[in-house]
Amino acid sequence: MIFSSVEILFIAVLIFTGLAVGVISGLLGVGGAFIMVPVQYWILTSLGFDPTIAMRVSFGTSLAVILPTALSGCYGHSCLGCVLWRPGLALGLSGLLGAFMGGSIAAHAPVELLKLIFGIIVLIGAFGMIFAKKIKPGAKSNDSLFFYIILGFMIGISSGVSGIGGGIILVPTMFGFMGFSILEAIGISALVIAMNSIGGILSYALNGLDVSGLPPYSIGYINLLIFALLAGTSVLAAQLGVRFAHKLPDEKLRIILIALMIYIGLKMTSAFEWFGSFLWTN
């Protein structure tokens, strides 16, 4: 098979995106969908696929990539004693159900609404990381199993609807408001987003089985070729992120990450277009 220069460019972009996603996932306990979704959407629409199909495939495939990537990060953090299983399993099991329901909703929602929801959730995660104030480690603000189940279900819904793993909301919540250390929050999040992704994967695969106009090598809204290119590098890179998380101060990277999340969130909500239109008309 001979690839065109454009196809080679897209393949290279996906490989490097997978590397970035893996490092960020292992380092901060997030799935990296806020990077993967816009990249996939750009590639698929550039190849001529319908925007609605492109967005749903981007969501479903991102969740598929998140599963092995998060498991890799979870293994690394677990080996270092930073995965607390009681809250992690409670959040993850309820999140799995929520993600399945959220994916079913997204499979029938218009593309502009999906882009808006995705952008808003990314912005919430960014501002949560900015304004969260650390409470004393060990002084858990709420250690109720019922609370974990409700929180996990809500994060799972947002995960399924937007194609994210949920870590961009969970990490700042657990670190800034619930009394977990940053490494505990990251370790728990790695477990939770892996479980969330299972519900989302099943939902996007099943809801897209009879849909026409999908990219080649797709099972429902999950594209196996894009998955292979992204996950092929992200799984290994996640271990590198775990090492960074336990050895390096992450404040500068956190600031860069927040800036990137704000940019992507504003882009996906069409805030830049609205602001440009406002300036032009005034």
Whether the CB-CB separation of 190 and 234 falls below 8 Å is answered with no
Q: What is the mean pLDDT of residues 192-211?
A: 92
Q: What is the mean pLDDT of residues 113-138?
A: 73
Residue of 73 and 218 predicted with greater confidence: 218
Of the segments 43-57, 67-81, 147-161, which one has the largest average pLDDT value? 43-57
Of the segments 25-39, 98-112, 239-253, which one has the largest average pLDDT value? 98-112
Residue 153 pLDDT:
92
Lowest mean pLDDT among 165-169, 206-210, 229-233: 165-169
Percent of the chain with pLDDT over 70: 83
Residue 61 pLDDT:
95
- pLDDT for residue 128 is more than 80: no
Lowest mean pLDDT among 134-138, 148-152, 198-202: 134-138
Label the pairing between strands 222-223 and 218-219.
antiparallel
Q: What is the mean pLDDT of residues 185-191?
A: 82
- pLDDT for residue 144 is more than 60: yes
List beta partners, residue 222.
219
Residue 257 pLDDT:
67
Residue 224 pLDDT:
96
**CB neighbours of 230 closer than 8 A, spacing ≥ 6?**
14, 15, 17, 18, 21, 36, 61, 65
Q: Encoding tokens for residue 272? A: 């830049």
- pLDDT for residue 275 is more than 80: no
Q: Write down the pTM of the prediction.
A: 0.81
Rounded to a whole number, what is the distance in angstroms from the first to the last CA of the chain?
A: 53
Lowest mean pLDDT among 36-50, 115-129, 158-172, 240-254: 240-254
Q: DSSP assignment of 184-216, as one string?
A: HHHHHHHHHHHHHHHHHHHHHHHHTTT-SSPPS
What pLDDT band is residue 279 in, cutting at 50, 70 and 90? Answer: very low
Angle at 223 between CA 262 and CA 206, to 5 degrees: 100
Residue 110 pLDDT:
85
E strand or H helix that includes residue 8: helix 5-28
Residue 251 pLDDT:
66
Q: What is the mean pLDDT of residues 180-193?
A: 80
Domain boundaries, the chain: 7-277
